[in-house]
Amino acid sequence: MPSARSMRTQIGTLIVATSIIQLANGFFGTFISLRVSLEDFGATLAGLVLSSYFAGFTLGALRCGQIIERVGHIRAYAAFAGVVAAATAAMPLFVAPLPWVFLRAAVGFGCAGLFVATESWLNAKAPPSERGRVFAIYMVGTFAALAAGQLLIAKAAVAGPGPFNAIVALFAVGLVMVSTTRAEPPQATGVPILPLRQLARAAPIAVIGSALSGVIAGAFYALVPAWMQDKGIDRSTIAQCMFAAVMGGLAFQVPVGRLSDRFDRRSVLAVLAIGLSGTAIALVFLPRTLAVVLPAAALLGGFLSVLYPVCVAHAHDCMPADRVVAVSGRLILMSGLGSVAGPLIGTRLMASFAIDGVLYLMAVTALALAVITTLRRRRVAPPLHRERPFEVLTPQASPLGHDPRSHEDTTVPVVAPPATPDPFGESHGSTAGRGVS
């Protein structure tokens, strides 16, 4: 039986290792957006490359739990990290749209596996009384690392192989840290299957909102940096804008969570969607100077980062407590599908309307969510709030491998197929790749 000190050391190692991986992931997402723009693949193929990460991530979030159950946490972690490193290293060797579609999908799959393995492992190691604090530290570390990854863009030689090598090195460091930690695998249990139709009947707003929030976030994080680079905006400005977006997302989590727990979540969701839509439209008409764009980027990042967690919390209110993991799995699927569609739609709109096309896409999608949510709220009474259902979730990787209820449970945690997420200056011259990059 490991001592309390040994347990804290293992938990700390996992959190630090995952933060290093998220540092690489945040950098990778913005970097690949810039690099795809330089390669000039064309609107459709560029959209496929940028959206393939989300497709791989969604598939991994749904399937990686089975791999972890079969081979154990350390071996699975090593395998997933190896997939990411190999796919990343191969990208500068095969610079073409089709290979990059498959390689980016492999990176997404591997990243999902790494997060599932880490989070389910943390869930098992953390004492029941400390799980809430452990995951709070984990998520803050994730946000901070994603934000720091944006700052690396300022010094990156986007056209060369150096950034790929740096990303591989960071993933390797995380792998070394975790592979030298003694594993104590959680007990694996089955997760009940939840038909999507059943969830859609019980919580249609959660299902629709997860998909639409995926469209918005996927388009924003994948396309805004590329547009900024095409406009000649220097990479330090791009880095600042994406940093502001990620930090805005962190700043919104706690206050929105408290509002969500106090009021009808559907009302909160509608207000957030209107705020996002209004900010996107304002950017179409406001001066695109750094003084205007940085606060706007923070607002956009804040609004879009909390749409999905509010949807998750609302779904948990509408479903029995024993379906928490299954509900999360279905919502991750819907968010992933939306994230795949976002860059594909956005690249077509950018071909005709430049960045305004992406802003219009975000505004219209968010407004549609607000209208649907308001109409539903008027027809159906709100469900009762469940205790502590709001989870802090990042734009890059929402908690995939733990059951939110287990923060206060004394039972062995579940590990199963994961419950399965403008610095726009035209005159001078940029976002955090949703590493979900």
User: 3-state DSSP call for residue 425?
Assistant: coil
Q: How far is CA 25 from CA 54, 224, 249, 419, in A?
A: 13, 17, 16, 22
Residue 146 · residue 246 · CB < 8 Å: yes
Looking at residue 164, what is its pLDDT?
Answer: 94
Q: What is the mean pLDDT of residues 204-227?
A: 89
Longest dimension (CA), the chain: 63
Contacts of 337 (CB under 8 A, 6+ apart): 58, 211, 214
Looking at residue 3, what is its pLDDT?
Answer: 61
Closest CA to 24 of 173, 154, 155: 173
Looking at residue 386, what is its pLDDT?
Answer: 59
Q: What is the mean pLDDT of residues 205-216?
A: 91
Query: Mean pLDDT for the chain?
Result: 79
**pLDDT tens-digit readout, 107-129:** 999 988 888 788 777 766 666 66
pLDDT at 66 > cutoff 90: no
What are the backbone angles phi and psi of residue 40, rounded to the nearest 5°?
55, 55
**pLDDT tens-digit readout, 427-437:** 333 333 333 33
User: When comparing pLDDT for 180 and 106, which is higher?
Assistant: 106
Dist CA 13 CA 405 (whole Å): 24
* DSSP-derived secondary structure for 334-382: HHHHHHHHHHHHHHHHHHHHTHHHHHHHHHHHHHHHHHHHHHHHHHSPP
Looking at residue 333, what is its pLDDT?
Answer: 80
What are the backbone angles phi and psi of residue 245, rounded to the nearest 5°?
-65, -45
**pLDDT tens-digit readout, 369-417:** 999 999 988 887 666 655 544 555 554 544 454 454 444 443 333 333 3
Domain boundaries defined on the chain: 4-184+195-401
Dist CA 100 CA 166 (whole Å): 18
Closest CA to 138 of 316, 386, 401, 434: 401
The alpha helices in 72-161, defined as continuous H runs, are 73-90, 97-125, 131-151
Question: Would you say the C-alpha torsion 350, 364, 309, 200 has a positive or negative sign?
Answer: negative
User: 3-state DSSP call for residue 71?
Assistant: helix
HSE, side-chain direction, 13 A CA sphere, residue 374: 11
Residue 110 · residue 80 · CB < 8 Å: yes
Residue 101 · residue 46 · CB < 8 Å: no
- pLDDT tier at 166, thresholds 50, 70, 90: very high
pLDDT at 425 > cutoff 50: no
pLDDT at 424 > cutoff 50: no
* DSSP-derived secondary structure for 320-331: -GGGHHHHHHHH
Residue 175 · residue 19 · CB < 8 Å: no
Q: Which of 133-147, 175-189, 287-301 has the lowest mean pLDDT?
A: 175-189
**pLDDT tens-digit readout, 324-342:** 667 777 787 888 888 889 8
Looking at residue 312, what is its pLDDT?
Answer: 81
Residue 51 · residue 103 · CB < 8 Å: no
Dist CA 347 CA 359 (whole Å): 12
Q: Which of 153-162, 315-324, 371-380 has the lowest mean pLDDT?
A: 315-324
Closest CA to 430 of 218, 227, 163, 145: 227
User: When comparing pLDDT for 153 and 437, which is higher?
Assistant: 153
What are the backbone angles phi and psi of residue 436, rounded to the nearest 5°?
-65, 45
Structure tokens at 80: 């997933």
Looking at residue 384, what is its pLDDT?
Answer: 62
- 4-184+195-401 has CATH 1.20.1250.20 classification: yes
Angle CA 203–206–211, to nearest 5: 135
Looking at residue 432, what is its pLDDT?
Answer: 33
- pLDDT tier at 100, thresholds 50, 70, 90: very high
pLDDT at 103 > cutoff 90: yes
